[in-house]
Structure 1
């Protein structure tokens, strides 16, 4: 009797499916089971597909693809439908794929099976409940793995997956590198306990090594099967070993494949026997693919973070040796996107003169090119400063250097939004004398510094400046000179600290001023942390880790404190017997009449807590008159010095405006329609005392106000008049 006759006698048909041509060959019994005439035939795939239930067709597709990938048998239950869409019968198909390159042929059998009676049906590949549970599980698993950001998170998620109906009791992820297989993560073993074969050669007789070598999954449903196929793995599977609830009885080793490359293997161990049906293998294979993709993403992200941190460490300097009598604190926080590097930087440079240079800057952009330009510019600035040039010369040379980079090959074409277009940089350069607190400041389009006085009052100190570096190679950078008194702290930062979070320049400074004024004054590092935290939460020194917050721009911050009582760096007590003085000074040049408004604002900021608002208005009016007189009636600049001393409620305000003219003041009698000549009249009406002191190189006109109108018993206001800034307005 022929084989076909024997199979037909037991209602079993033969069929062959050619994937390349799409032709299905059926013997007579197979054709009969599909509801076709009982004769051998060849049909196109579409004709055979029409005989299957649509849900079962999708199921068999997945089973076949899994069998092709694993080189195993494809088994499935299929419902056969007639032309009217009625159920004819249920059959079981078993087939073996023969792969030829990208094509394959399936050779198999088809046999009718009895439908399960009501109440006795078990879950099968075509049962809806199990399928819905599996789909829900895969959706949840995919979502959780997609959100994992590190290898540790991926392994934690993989260990927490609860598969429908057969959850693993132990897991291990094997990675392949340099011809070795190592366990990079595991679950189900005691702390400090490594799974067997945690490190082995790629040629080891172990299922994980074979999976990596071949890219095909291996299923071991019993310890006996494990021992038979892999005798070297017997210590892991031997029945003679003491059993614990988590001791595996079945194992699945599935390849971790991404873009056709096998990265490693995933082992799932089950404490109960598992038959590894096609549905179970399909779930394991799908999860393994998701785990592989998540591990690849996490590995790329970790490599990127490591590159970013290494780049930051190589570019960001240390603060160097301690400065006698001064303390420095610094912070750098990158933006949230890309490699987390950008164009912001700071530096501290010892100078040949014994002074110290502090530099802070911001190259346009937040990408790798901005970081590269920042590194070049920082080195150039350090070189120019180390040669002993003054601040204005250092910035002029740096501007020419950056502008010259635009002329290099590949950098001579400009188009809006082009990342290769010329970049500019803002910069603020301070040369500090630790012995005297003298600061010479040059500024290139950068935000002005702010000074926190010893009593907590914060002033933004206007400084002269020029264009950002790299725009015009012939730009001049005038120098502003300030004195940092004992107990005072100067803050310089990039605009990321000021304008992040929807703030503009004014509201951003107001936010930082509040933080600095509320600081207790016990530690400069705490003040630096508080300023960064005002933008996006707690920070650490040279923050490089991921921060989930409002970062819109890089942040660089430098704080320089001249040690003294209440300085904020822990070098002195925050309380003294005498109230600390508030003092500010600025120059208003003939060519900058707009700085008169800045002088008025400086006085208001200094007297922010003065008891009598009318006195503040009076002082602002007199300062405006005094400075304007110098600009109108002399050929020189006005030097404004403001100082407030004493306890709150009993303070003395003294304002001096000096100029280089020796012409004495005189009182005028302006008419009702006169537009000038009321300067001294206002002084007499508004000041508690005032006068003019002659000096060898000019004169100084001054006035004093006593807080809350307290009497002071000072000199006769007109008795000291010896000159003026010219005819009084």
Structure 2
């Protein structure tokens, strides 16, 4: 028999005896029931196939846990699995109790259980009576253990008072489930209602702000720290006549008031009210007491967490700046996401500082650590940077002074307590878009160009602040073109989620390339790329699990009016540009130049041309460092409409000697630079610059297969001449 197939004819015989049949295969997750079993489950009396979730929804939650435990035990012992099950309707009310008998088997190949069994309704004595309790004695202890485990797990995972109350409202205790719950707190000398379930809204008003001297069970529990059990309305009326009229209208028959005690202090009371008489046996009192203790601990944890969040929010609001007034021609956006541990504060920060010359400075940094000390050091460092910047110092001087200041703050005889801070300081000219940067061990800025091309702008840098009070911080000048956006961030944005700097950057790069909205939308997209759908952060949503602080700052320069070939909506010509200075003492930056050129040509259709351009750039920069004693300036620019673009690469130096072609021998290790340029470039040249010179070359984008073939023929022709005239080897 397979799940979904008609059940055997014996089902007709069993139906006459009011017994239903069912078949459950955990591999498929389907439960097939005949007409009688469907009726017992509260469904239309016809054979049907249910999913496990649909079947589970018809059963009492505690009974479902009992079934899974009994099935495993029956497989182990090779016996029948028998259990009583309470059937629930759509409103969560118990409509009947049935007895399930089944013969389970386990398939090790499929790693699944298969059960064929019967359902039969059984007469259930009234809940809370001795007969009712004795009828479930065999299942009671196992059900209680399963219930307490589930309740403890759910309450331990609740993170707020609201979540704790939601869990408490869904608790269904084995054998005697209350239909009314309330949690009382204390404010001063008054009882308050924290939350309730099972009563209509507004009916709690008489019990809210009730003086603790009132003759009411909950106030007595708070005053004495001892539970109060009331098994009948008569007992309630006799012991608490003053408040009985307030309770009588709810129509309950038994009440249990238990203290909520945490840390040796009674913080409130918990009410469980029953619509039927309950004798409150020792077993039942034990369950209620255990639940009350777990509930008190959960409320205490939630209250502490909420207080910490309020403290954190206040601390963040006091430390994080506003982005200041609107800047003509530019837009700013920022996000700060604290770490998920402790007080959720750390050492990441950002700032925007108005400068005396009409410019402004952007600062982002990260003080080592994720604790209150890191947050305190961050606040002091941010104030110092503001002071130095406001005095009109250049970016390198601002960081040099900040490093000396931070060394004084963090000086200690204990090496384990030494702290340092990374920082990126950028002075922005909003008129020209010029950015003057100084970097102290921080990540380089990232530029998103108008067409979506994304580049990491390599900048000169020094040691992190606080490492050496005499550190120097060289300045690098960049330009933010119209339509471009700069992103600066801390490493938490890159490395969260188990990524390193390389893989984390690739994740963010895709977000930057794909996003074409405003800066606020881009900032949200960057955070979502790291954390996924989120729920709260300083200026927007934030995910609940955070590995490191995140600070990100976006600066956009407004683009020019759309331009094209005369018609509205015409294709906009590409304009991309990158600049890089390679100093004599930094030959390793030649590799950065090659990487930036590849990123600039990320969508170039000819991979061979890209390889040629990278080879020529490497040759030109190396020649400057080898044959002169000056630095090299690399400027690469892509212009033109898609399909007919041009890449021009220019390397400038301050040397006086102009390059010239030579004829190196086969074994020569140099002298082929200009020959390579002539061979691989479409056009090239050397130009004096008054002081120094520049050498440049152009490559033109092939617009179709025929053009690419013709261009390849031209390259091959030059290569053939290069070989035939004896100037090089094939």
Q: What range describes the TM-score normalised by the shorter chain of this pair?
A: 0.7 to 0.9
Shift in CA distance, 386/125, structure 1 to aligned 2, threshold 3 Å: farther
Say whether residues 1:230 and 2:240 are aligned partners. yes
Q: Deviations over 1:621-654 (max 9, x none)?
A: 2222222222222222111111111122211111
Match of 2:366 among 356, 362, 366: 362
Deviations 1:475-514 (A, max 9, x none): 0000000011001111111111222223222222222222
Select which of 151, 154, 163 maps to 2:164: 154
Which residue is 2:633 aligned to?
Answer: 639
Alignment equivalent of 2:332, drawn from 328, 332, 345: 328
Q: Aligned pair in 2 of structure 1 residues 600, 268: CA closer, same or farther (>3 Å)?
A: same
SS of alignment partner, residue 357 of structure 1: strand
Residue of structure 1 in register with 2:213 after alignment: 203
Cα drift, residue 586 of structure 1: 1.2
Which residue is equivalent to 1:531?
Answer: 526
Residue pair 2:496, 2:530 contacting (<8 A) in 1 also: yes
Q: Could you tell me how far 1:356 is from its partner in structure 2?
A: 1.4
Matched, 1:413 2:408: no
Report matched runs for 1:137-536 at 5 Å: 137-238=147-248, 241=249, 247-407=251-411, 411-415=412-416, 421-519=417-515, 521-536=516-531
Per the TM alignment, residue 600 of structure 1 is displaced from its structure 2 partner at its CA by: 1.4
**Aligned: 1:687 with 2:681:** yes
Matched, 1:666 2:676: no
Where does residue 83 of structure 1 map in the other structure?
Answer: none
Structure 1: stretches of 5+ with no match in the other structure? 1-119, 416-420, 568-572, 713-729
TM-aligned CA distance change 1:274 to 1:690, over 3 Å: same
Q: Which of the residues 556, 567, 570 maps onto 1:561?
A: 556
| Distance across 2 between alignment mates of 1:485 and 1:390 | 22
Counterparts of 1:99-114 in structure 2 under 5 Å? none
Rate the CA distance shift 1:259–1:596 in 2: closer, same or farther, 3 A. Answer: closer
Could you tell me how far 1:546 is from its partner in structure 2? 6.6
CA contact (8 A) 1:395 1:477 kept: yes
TM normalised by structure 1 equals 0.74
* 1:69-148 correspondence runs (5 A): 123=133, 127-148=137-158
**8 Å CA contact retained: 1:566, 1:574:** no
Find the aligned partners of 1:172 and 1:566 in 2 and give their Cα distance: 64
Shift of 1:192: 4.2
Q: CA deviation at 1:257?
A: 1.5
Report how far residue 121 of structure 1 moved.
6.3
User: 1:602–1:237: structure 2 CA closer, same or farther, 3 Å change rule?
Assistant: closer
| Pair 160,591 (structure 1): closer, same or farther in 2 beyond 3 Å | same
> Residues 339 and 345 of structure 2 are in contact (CA less than 8 Å); yes or no, is this contact kept in structure 1?
yes
Q: Which residue of 607, 614, 625 corresponds with 1:620?
A: 614
- In structure 2, the CA distance between the partners of 1:201 and 1:705, relative to structure 1 (3 Å rule), is same
The CA deviation at 1:127 is 4.6
Distance in 2 separating the partners of 1:292 and 1:380: 46
Offset at 1:219? 2.3
Q: Go from structure 1 to structure 2 and tell me whether the alpha carbon gap of 1:597 and 1:260 turns closer, same or farther (over 3 Å shift).
A: closer
Measured at CA, do residues 546 and 588 of structure 1 come closer, stay the same or move farther in structure 2, by a change above 3 Å?
closer
Cα distance change of structure 1 residues 691 and 135 upon mapping to structure 2, 3 Å threshold: closer
Q: Quote the offset at 1:226 in angstroms.
A: 2.6
Maintained 8 Å contact 2:635/2:649? yes
Q: Could you say if the C-alpha distance between residues 135 and 664 of structure 1 is closer, same or farther in structure 2, counting changes exceeding 3 Å?
A: closer
1:651 aligns with 2:652: no
How much has 1:596 moved relative to structure 2? Answer: 1.3
Question: 2:670 & 2:604 partners in 1: Cα distance?
Answer: 30
Q: Deviations over 1:261-306 (max 9, x none)?
A: 1111112222223333333333322221221122112112222222
| 2:696 matches 1:702 | yes
1:496–1:555 Cα contact (<8 Å) kept: yes
Shift of 1:605: 1.1
SS at 2:207 equivalent = coil
Q: 1:505 to 1:140 in 2, by over 3 A?
A: closer
> How far apart, CA to CA, are the structure 1 residues paired with 2:480 and 2:303?
49
d(CA) in 1 for partners of 2:135, 2:260: 25
- Contact 1:361/1:446, CA 8 A, preserved across alignment: yes
Per the TM alignment, residue 379 of structure 1 is displaced from its structure 2 partner at its CA by: 1.5
1:499-530 per-residue CA deviation (whole Å, 9 max, x = no partner) reads 222322222222222221122x2222222222
Contact 2:574–2:645 (Cα < 8 Å) also in 1: no
**CA RMSD in angstroms, aligned pairs only:** 2.5
Task: Identify the range of structure 1 (295-304 vs 215-224) with the bigger mean alpha-carbon deviation.
Answer: 215-224
Q: How does 1:48-63 map to 2 (within 5 A)?
A: none
Distance 1:661 1:332, change over 3 A: same
Post-superposition Cα deviations, 1:673-701, rounded to whole Å, max 9, x if no partner, equal: 22222222222222211112222332222
Contact 2:133/2:175, CA 8 A, preserved across alignment: no
Give the 3-state SS of the residue equivalent to 2:133 in structure 1: coil
Superposed CA deviations along residues 291-341 of structure 1, whole A, max 9, x for unmatched, are 112211211222222222222222222212111111111111222222222
Between 1:267-276 and 1:450-459, the stretch displaced more is: 267-276
Shift of 1:380: 1.4
Give, in whole Å, the separation in 2 of the partners of 1:324 and 1:530. 25
Structure 1 residues 513 and 213, CA gap change in structure 2 (3 angstroms): same
Gap change, CA 1:436 and 1:283, over 3 Å in 2: same
- For residue 139 of structure 1, report the CA deviation from its aligned partner: 2.7
